[in-house]
A and B are shown apart, each in its own frame.
Chain A
Amino acid sequence: MSTTTTVAHEGGHGHSHDHPKHLAHHFETLDQQFDAGKLGIWTFLLTEVLFFSALFVAYTVYRSNYPEVWQFASQYLNTQLGATNTLVLLLSSFTFAWGVRNAMLGQIGLLKMNLAITLLCAGGFMGIKYMEYSHKFHEGTLWSGNEDTIFRLHAEDVPEHIKEHSHAWDNRDGEFSAAVRDLDPEFRQKLGIFFGVYFCLTGLHGIHVLIGMLLLLWLLLRSMRGDFGPDNFNAIDFGALYWHLVDLIWIFLFPLLYLIS
């Protein structure tokens, strides 16, 4: 027969012992609470990676089916802006990581500064993204189903109502348009799919950056209220992990989309 032992928790469930300020009621120790949080955030990051996976699979499937389309389309992406954004995000990851260190050591002033810089970088990333997107919208470098897409305007007769309001139609003699004009219609259609995948991937990533900005704002406000210090930095730590993942996904996106040759 097996032996019976009683779980010997410190102080039992009587709540008679001193409960540390930041310890939730259902955990036994701060270590347990921290470990649970850590495992939780890592599991969440795993689901985030899988959340992007379908788009990466779409990218891979269509790229392996139409490698020449992918190479051609990549030229239409602005590599300078993409590279700048990569640097901006790398910087933000660095400042966020430093912020975690600040919180651990109780350097609250530096923590606030680093969070603010991270937030600024994130804003800068979105600003540059906005420039890229608006340029593409203007040129008509859009996904294949869009009526205004550069890849369809040359295909057959364009309806009047499109011509009237279309920037892309106005730019039809521009450099990009001219490069696309003589391509085979099927090739042009597949170019549209490349940009469909491009907008989905960078758009979903952009949404994650926006969520990260909200998170940063919240952390910044809380650190200004004086919530964080050596005994309470879990939120900063977990927020930084999320931010590093967002950064990491961009590190993959940049060469996969911008640097095909």
Chain B
Amino acid sequence: MTSSTNALDRTNYLNATKGFMSWFWTIDHKRLGLMYLWSVVGCFILGGMFAMKIRLTLSGDVDFASQTAEQMNAYNNAFTVHGAVMIFLVIIPSIPAALGNFVVPMMLGTKDVAFPKLNRFSYHLWLIGAILFVTTLFVGNLDTGWTFYPPYSTGYTDVSVITAVLGAFILGFSSIFTGLNFIVTIHKMRPPQMTWFKMPLFLWAIYATAVIQILATPVIGISLLLILVEKTMQIGIFTPELGGDPVFFQHLFWFYSHPAVYIMILPGMGVMSELFATFSRKPIFGYKSIALSSIAIAIFSFIVWGHHMFVSGQSELMSIIFSALTFSVAVPSAIKVFNWIATMYKGSIAFTTPMLYGLSIIWLFGIGGLTGLFLATLGTDVHFHDTYFVVAHFHYVMVGSALFGFLGGIFYWWPKMYGRMVDNKWSKIACIMSFVGFNMTFMPQFIGGAHGMPRRYAAYGPSAGFDGYNEASTLGAMVLMTGLFLALGTLLWSLKKGKKAPANPWGGVTLEWQTPSPPPEHNFEIDPPVVGDPYDMSLFEWKGEEEGFLPVNPRPDDPCVANVQPS
């Protein structure tokens, strides 16, 4: 054996069984994780196409005076599908379902999640939901915005709302079952030595996310079901002509959809904690406050939904209470950022591709989080609400933090998934391009929004003076798209040409690095050692590129160590 800590030539989870059904009907959490990963990438490309449609329309594809009703409808359709696909099909399942499935059981040193069949069922539900969403594109012109606000969605638009809402409903159940699985897995399948405060922080983040998933998702499920019933049978709960109240739906919708923001961002924060510890080769600074701040964010996320409705006509008192509560979420988020930076202090910082994503997130999440302050503040939010300022803010949080976190996580765990290293130079260029392109796209939108540029407009009149912002944005979107495709290219390239990865290329101490890359079918050939501190970097030492990091005191039968032959 040459590259001896690599398991590509041995039996591993990728080559143990072959054929379509061995993947489609698998209960192996690693294979399900990979299937989620590629499905999410496919949906991301779909959502991205609609994003480009939005950008091209706004940067003067069609001029204001000659735009027809069909062109406006096409634009409205584009932003609705972009939003719905990116939220329901990309960001929500990205880290929890794709990376979480792959990593969580291995981090716990177990063979699988608690309910492997339920896990497979989640994925199949997800597929059905995704198919319904794609069907939507053919049955009609979905133009409600991803928020499905009545009475527009129930009384004034076509049947495509039905398939979209059904799709979102089914995706919701997929998300609930995934969350349920992780909660039970983390509670019941931890090795006895791994107490709560010795868990890796990624597990804390996934746990907090799962709590939100199971508590908030049923509420959106029933609310969307009510939209469906309202649309098909005119029950009257949301329809003003029938005595109902459309603002009531907004309460129900945001009761889920605000916590959903944390379903998106918390797992990204979990990835960040792993990246900063591993690539600084230091225990994470303030472990307990990062762990508990995840739980605090999960709890606070449920009591701030009303900040989406400051100008909806809800009572002033409610707006004031929600504004105050909203600020409370900012504190745990800030604590995390400060702790990550403090982890770098006196560390040994490696500029690998995943770490570059990590550093990008610090800045992007910094901007995304700080601009949130303007929107939590009542006086300024009245002006910014429903303008591009909000659009830019949530893209900084969702793309700049959640999606970059997803990418950072992919590049971090890629050697473990496929046993190959990604090209260092090109993947870094891709990261930097995405970072630059992202800022070029969304920075101008802050300024446009502050000048009063409203959202969801198919065109702006020449006298409005917003064209410059849109031109700049579109230019940035091109750069961003190129960067993202380049990143995908480097990943695909590595599958054939990448150097074989050692068991532990980065020096991580969490348990998934203590099994060969790629892992065997049941994750571990021998039970991994559970250490007191999940971030005690001194347990591994660098042995060169071929062998990566190896334990300082290897056990005699450790399959990750070069001179041990597998039995």
Residues in A lying within 8 Å of B, measured CB to CB: 1-9, 12-13, 24-27, 32, 35-36, 39-40, 43-44, 46-48, 50-55, 57-58, 61-62, 143-146, 186, 189-190, 192-193, 196-197, 199-200, 204
Q: How far is it, in angstroms, between the C-alpha of A6 and the C-alpha of B113 when the chains are bound?
A: 21
Instruction: For the complex, give the distance between the alpha carbons of A143 and B242 in Å.
Output: 9
Interface centre among A2, A47, A144 (most CB of B within 10 A): A47
Q: In chain A, what residue has the closest Cβ to B180?
A: A43
Q: Is B400 an interface residue (CB 8 A)?
A: no
Q: How large is the interface on B (under 10, 10 to 19, 20 to 34, 35 or more residues)?
A: 35 or more
A146 to B226, CA, bound (A): 16
Proximity bits, B518-540, A CB within 8 Å = 1, else 0: 00001011111111110010110
Question: Smallest distance from the beta carbon of B325 to chain A beta carbons, Å?
Answer: 19
Known: A26-B116, A44-B180, A146-B233. A5 touches B193 (CB 8 A): yes
Q: Residues of A contacting B116 with CB < 8 Å? A: 24, 26
B493 part of interface (Cβ distance < 8 Å): no
- B183 adjacent to A39 (CB under 8 Å): yes
23 pairs, A vs B, C-beta closer than 8 Å = A4-B529, A6-B527, A7-B529, A8-B527, A12-B526, A12-B527, A13-B111, A13-B524, A24-B116, A25-B112, A35-B188, A36-B187, A40-B181, A48-B218, A51-B219, A54-B252, A61-B248, A144-B234, A144-B243, A193-B237, A193-B242, A196-B236, A200-B235
B533 contact from A2, A12, A26, A53, Cβ within 8 A: A2
Docked CA distance A47–B539 (Å): 42
Taking CB as reference atom, which chain B residue is nearest A186?
B243
- Beta-carbon contact of A7 and B527 below 8 Å: yes
Chain B residues, Cβ within 8 Å of A53: 218-219, 222
Q: Which residues of B contact A2 (CB under 8 A)?
A: 531-533, 536
CB < 8 Å: which of A9, A47, A145 contacts B180? A47
B239 and A145 contacting across the interface, CB-CB below 8 Å = yes
B218 partner, pick from A35, A47, A193, A199, beta carbons under 8 A: A47
Residues of B within 8 A of A204 (CB): 222, 225
Please tell me if the beta carbons of A200 and B226 are within 8 angstroms of each other in the complex: yes
Sample of 9 further A-B pairs with CB below 8 A, known A44-B180, A144-B244, A193-B242: A4-B553, A5-B530, A27-B189, A35-B188, A43-B180, A186-B243, A190-B243, A196-B237, A200-B237
* B229 at interface, CB cutoff 8 A: yes
Bound-complex Cα distance A6 to B239 (A): 62
Q: Is the CB of A7 within 8 A of B237?
A: no
Asked if B243 and A32 sit within 8 Å, CB to CB, the answer is: no
Chain A residue with minimal CB distance to B245? A61
What string of 1s and 0s marks CB contacts (under 8 Å) between B97-138 and chain A?
Answer: 000000001000111111110100000000000000000000
Determine whether the beta carbon of B242 is less than 8 Å from that of A32: no
How long is the Cα–Cα vector from A204 to B181 in the complex, in angstroms?
25
Q: Is B4 an interface residue (CB 8 A)?
A: no
B223 A54 Cβ-Cβ under 8 A? yes
Which residues of B line the A interface, CB within 8 A? 105, 109-116, 118, 176, 180-181, 183-185, 187-189, 191-193, 214-215, 217-219, 221-223, 225-226, 229-230, 233-237, 239, 242-245, 248, 252, 522, 524-533, 536, 538-539, 553, 555
Cβ distance B30 to chain A, nearest Cβ, rounded Å = 12
Q: Is the interface of A mostly helix, strand, loop or mixed?
A: helix
Given the contacts A40-B115, A48-B218, A32 and B188 also touching, CB distance less than 8 Å: yes
- Whether B218 lies near A7 (C-beta < 8 A) is no
Q: Among the listed B109, B176, B235, which residue makes an inter-chain contact with A145, where contact means beta carbons less than 8 Å apart?
A: B235
CB distance from B337 to the nearest CB of A (A): 27
CB within 8 Å for A7 and B191 given contacts A1-B538, A61-B248: yes
CA distance A12 to B525 in the complex (A): 9
Asked whether, in the complex, the Cβ of A36 is within 8 Å of the Cβ of B191, the reply is no
By a CB distance below 8 angstroms, the chain B residues around A27 are 189
A197 touches B526 (CB 8 A): no
Contacts of B236 in A (CB 8 A): 143-145, 189, 192-193, 196
Q: Residue of A at shortest CB range from B538?
A: A1
- Contact status A189-B242, CB under 8 Å: yes
| Complex CA–CA separation, A35 to B183 (angstroms) | 13
